[in-house]
Structure 1
């Protein structure tokens, strides 16, 4: 299953209730943040 950012997953089809869906969306957002952090150039000063 491929997810597109900004489009809600069809969570009823997966048998998830609303609370599970909210946790799923939260986890997906965290993954996107981590991914974007990995993809952006390393602008931290060298130590």
Structure 2
């Protein structure tokens, strides 16, 4: 999963771990202001 900075249109992080295609992706911002990202892959991870 690559995380992009929308303002600069550049990749700012690469998240590794999945070994197959990603089937779903979701994000949210907590009341504390912290951002979370969740992904699910065909590799069941």
Aligning the two structures, in what range does the TM-score lie when normalised by the shorter sequence? under 0.3
User: What TM-score results when the alignment is normalised by the length of structure 1?
Assistant: 0.20
The structure with higher relative contact order (CA 8 Å, sep 6+) is 2
User: What TM-score results when the alignment is normalised by the length of structure 2?
Assistant: 0.20
Higher fraction of strand: 2
